[in-house]
């Protein structure tokens, strides 16, 4: 961080400057529509990446900012997916309403479990989130009359977006829709981490023990963060249900929870863009590797993960920012 | 005479067979500058942990301005005006001093649940945080991450965080622990300059510092209050000389 450049700033000006849009992030978002023009054959993949990025962003809010490690975050992704899918099947197929339903159901589940989550830390927390995830996965499997079980949810019926855009096989609508939703929720998350509440979350991550000594209700903060994160994961799940017109049982499985955590760590936790970059790299790598060596995909992901954790302890973005700082210092 | 800012009655705590606090009855008047001394293991930090709610007592009661706070959570006691610092730095390593103190000010002002607005809109809260930092000679380095600050500055940041809660009573657990003697007096100059509305209790091993800054001295030994009195009285106390000053340590 270029501390010296900010020395002359007033405190308010300094904090404002922290939240200003940088060139790199502006470029990042300007590049997101490029697949429409240059990679039209990959729009379905691009849509999946945008949705996964949103899911990773939701996990980063609790892992990277509040320091709550979860191995069961797919519970909320899957809940949102099933909620939106079932809503379209039985009630109403309008996609934006479906997103809201997905967010609401997931946040309710998140809020209910947050009372237990907020009382634990570290290993106990990992086991708890894992337990909740397994529990929900098993419940969805046994309620196959409702969810379709391992065959996946059939009969998802999503109306055209805004009454105008049909769900084309190329994925134009899917990617445009996913990208806009990702961007809107990214703006929300960005605002959140620069808010007083976001500062409190960073306080919890940096020193949980000090928080009560400055009068902070850490548990209440954790409950709020967990609920918001669950809602965002629910929106991501709803998006996957709507854009693929089905819900697979593995959308709330353990593997999904583990993968999303890998993506956040890969990109760099607590950096806002970490989950986005992690999802991008992971999904593209999977698409490429699984084409060449579908059997050994997880071998390579394992290699990548070990390499990143050993050589880039703060993820790809952490490594990049160190490189940039080093380069600037020259 | 007005009610004491902080008082304890028959406060007791034991860990299995080890008694760490026995029937401790103390009164800290408004504006107090009290030193808490005693050999290692006398139960000084334990007493602070009991008073601030980080440990639950087995028996006894704690009062903040006549209100019984014995059953309150630590953060609730802080909101009512009882703050502390830690002997071992307990700071937000990745935040800079401005962010850390702004966080504490926002918590006190009830802004910390606000997730929809940029923290920079709260100009008064940020300016208040900055004023505290300037007063504690941390103004110039307030944009540097805490982990990069010199150790002495980190000790001052400990105090700044506690002050941001606007305490009525401030408990300082060895504020200059680990700081070289020449810097240690800097820290105590800051402590001595704090508002006289504030009741202050500090743990300290350096007797020069204790006799210079304390108006009253409490001596603890083996989990009990062994003696209490003015510096002159304590200096003349035969028992204290024997158990403590005789084997005095500069910590």
- ipTM for the predicted complex: 0.90
DSSP 8-state assignment for residue B33: E
How far apart (Å, rounded) are the C-alpha atoms in residues B72 and B78?
10
Tens digits of residue pLDDT in A62-112: 999 988 999 999 999 999 999 999 999 888 889 999 999 999 999 999 999
State whether residue A200 sits within 8 Å of chain B by CB.
Answer: yes
State whether residue A219 sits within 8 Å of chain B by CB.
Answer: no
State whether residue A169 sits within 8 Å of chain B by CB.
Answer: no
Tens digits of residue pLDDT in B30-58: 999 999 999 888 999 999 999 999 999 99
C-alpha to C-alpha distances, A29 to A22, A25, A46, A178, B116, nearest whole angstrom: 11, 6, 14, 14, 22
State whether residue B104 sits within 8 Å of chain A by CB.
Answer: yes
Nearest residue to A204 via CA among B24, B19, B112: B112
Nearest residue to A278 via CA among A49, A33, A61, A30: A49
State whether residue A292 sits within 8 Å of chain B by CB.
Answer: no
Q: Which residue of B has its CA nearest to A17?
A: B120
Nearest residue to A53 via CA among A225, A220, A284, A288: A284
State whether residue A215 sits within 8 Å of chain B by CB.
Answer: yes
pLDDT score of B130: 96
pLDDT score of A100: 97
Section A297-325 average pLDDT:
86
Q: Which two tokens stand for residue B142?
A: 């307030």
Q: Are B137 and B187 in contact (CB under 8 A)?
A: no
For residue A5, is pLDDT > 60?
no
Provide the shortest C-alpha distance from residue B244 to chain A (in Å): 31
Q: Which two tokens stand for residue A249?
A: 């049982």
H-run or E-run covering A36: helix A34-38
Q: Do B92 and A206 touch (CB under 8 A)?
A: yes
Q: Where are the domains of chain B?
A: 1-81+167-251, 92-166
> What's chain B's average pLDDT?
91
pLDDT score of A195: 96
Q: Do A3 and B143 touch (CB under 8 A)?
A: yes
Tens digits of residue pLDDT in B170-229: 999 999 988 888 888 889 888 988 988 999 999 998 888 899 899 999 999 989 999 999
Tens digits of residue pLDDT in A252-306: 989 999 999 999 999 999 999 999 999 999 999 888 887 777 777 888 888 888 9
Contacts of B119 in chain A (CB under 8 A): 15, 194-196, 198-199
Total count of residues recorded for chain B: 251
Nearest residue to A32 via CA among A166, A169, A165, A180: A180
State whether residue A194 sits within 8 Å of chain B by CB.
Answer: yes
Provide the shortest C-alpha distance from residue A329 to chain B (in Å): 17
Q: 3-state class of B27 per DSSP?
A: strand
Contacts of B79 in chain A (CB under 8 A): 215
Q: Do B107 and A216 touch (CB under 8 A)?
A: yes
- Residue B78 has its nearest CB partner, among A12, A215, A218, at A215
Nearest residue to B157 via CA among B117, B100, B212: B100
* Full-model pTM: 0.91
Q: Where are the domains of chain A?
A: 36-251
**Most B-contacting residue of A199, A214, A219, A224 (CB-CB within 10 A), to test interface:** A214
> What's chain A's average pLDDT?
90
As a whole-number percent, the residues of chain A with pLDDT over 90 amount to 65
Q: Do B113 and A209 touch (CB under 8 A)?
A: no
The phi, psi pair for B18, rounded to 5°, reads -85, 115
Q: Do A196 and B164 touch (CB under 8 A)?
A: no
Nearest residue to A46 via CA among A180, A161, A230: A180
pLDDT range class, residue A7, cuts 50, 70, 90: low
Contacts of B54 in chain A (CB under 8 A): 212
State whether residue A271 sits within 8 Å of chain B by CB.
Answer: no
What CATH architecture is B1-81+167-251?
Answer: 3-Layer(aba) Sandwich (3.40)
Q: Which residue of A has its CA nearest to B108?
A: A215
Q: Do A12 and B106 touch (CB under 8 A)?
A: no
Token pair 């501390």 is at which residue?
A3
Q: Are A52 and A260 in contact (CB under 8 A)?
A: yes
In the stretch 203-242 of chain B, residues with CB closer than 8 A to chain A read: none
C-alpha to C-alpha distances, B165 to A33, A135, B123, nearest whole angstrom: 48, 42, 17
In the stretch 3-22 of chain A, residues with CB closer than 8 A to chain B read: 3, 6-7, 9, 11-12, 14-16, 19
pLDDT range class, residue B155, cuts 50, 70, 90: very high
Nearest residue to A100 via CA among A112, A115, A88, A114: A88
pLDDT range class, residue B247, cuts 50, 70, 90: low
């Amino acid at each position: 961080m270029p501390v010296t450049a900010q020395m002359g700033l007033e405190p308010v000006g300094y904090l404002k400057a922290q939240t200003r849009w940088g060139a790199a992030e502006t470029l990042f978002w300007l590049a997101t529509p490029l697949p429409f023009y240059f990679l039209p054959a990959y729009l379905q993949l691009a849509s999946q990446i945008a949705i996964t990025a949103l899911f990773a962003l939701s996990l980063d809010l609790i892992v990277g900012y509040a320091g709550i490690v979860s191995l069961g975050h797919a519970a909320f992704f899957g809940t949102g997916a099933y909620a939106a899918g079932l809503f379209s099947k039985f009630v109403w197929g309008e996609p934006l309403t479906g997103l809201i339903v997905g967010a609401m159901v997931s946040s309710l589940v998140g809020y209910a479990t947050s009372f237990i989550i907020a009382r634990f830390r570290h290993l106990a927390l990992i086991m708890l989130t894992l337990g909740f995830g397994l529990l929900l996965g098993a419940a969805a499997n046994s309620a196959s009359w409702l969810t379709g079980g391992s065959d996946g949810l059939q009969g998802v019926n999503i109306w055209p977006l805004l009454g105008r855009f049909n769900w084309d096989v190329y994925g134009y609508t899917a990617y445009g829709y996913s990208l806009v939703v990702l961007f809107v929720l990214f703006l929300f998350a960005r605002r959140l981490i620069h808010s007083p509440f976001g500062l409190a979350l960073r306080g919890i991550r940096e020193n949980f023990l000090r928080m009560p000594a400055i009068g902070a209700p850490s548990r209440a903060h954790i409950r709020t963060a967990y609920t918001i994160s669950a809602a965002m994961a629910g929106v991501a799940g709803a998006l996957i249900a709507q854009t693929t017109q089905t819900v697979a049982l593995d959308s709330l499985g353990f593997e999904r929870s583990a993968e999303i955590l890998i993506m956040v760590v890969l990109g760099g936790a607590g950096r806002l863009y970490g989950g986005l970059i992690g999802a991008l790299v992971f999904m593209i790598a999977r698409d490429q590797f699984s084409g060449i060596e579908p059997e050994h995909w997880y071998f390579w992901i394992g290699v990548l993960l070990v390499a990143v954790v050993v050589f880039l302890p703060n993820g790809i973005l952490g490594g990049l920012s160190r490189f940039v700082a080093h380069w600037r210092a020259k | 005479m007005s009610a004491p800012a902080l008082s304890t009655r028959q406060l007791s705590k034991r860990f299995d067979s080890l008694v760490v606090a026995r029937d401790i009855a103390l009164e800290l008047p408004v504006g107090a500058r009290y030193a808490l001394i005693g050999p290692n293991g006398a139960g000084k930090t334990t007493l602070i942990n009991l008073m601030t709610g980080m440990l639950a007592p087995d028996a006894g009661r704690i009062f903040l301005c006549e209100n019984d706070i014995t059953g309150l959570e630590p953060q609730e006691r802080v909101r009512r005006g009882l703050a502390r610092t830690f002997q071992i730095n307990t700071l937000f390593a990745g935040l800079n001093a401005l962010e850390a103190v702004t966080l504490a000010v926002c918590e006190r002002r009830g802004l910390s649940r606000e997730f929809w607005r940029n923290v920079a809109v709260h100009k008064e809260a940020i300016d208040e945080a900055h004023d505290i930092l300037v007063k504690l000679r941390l103004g110039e380095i307030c944009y540097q991450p805490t982990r990069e600050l010199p150790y002495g500055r980190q000790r001052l940041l400990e105090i700044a965080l506690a002050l941001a809660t606007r305490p009525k009573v401030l408990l300082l657990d060895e504020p200059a622990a680990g700081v070289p003697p020449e810097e240690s007096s800097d820290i105590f100059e800051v402590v001595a300059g704090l508002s006289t509305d504030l009741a202050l209790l500090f743990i300290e091993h350096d007797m020069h510092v204790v006799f210079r800054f304390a108006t009253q001295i409490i001596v603890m030994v083996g989990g009990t209050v062994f003696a209490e009195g003015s510096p002159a009285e304590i200096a003349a106390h035969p028992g204290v000389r024997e158990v403590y000053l005789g084997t005095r340590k500069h910590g």
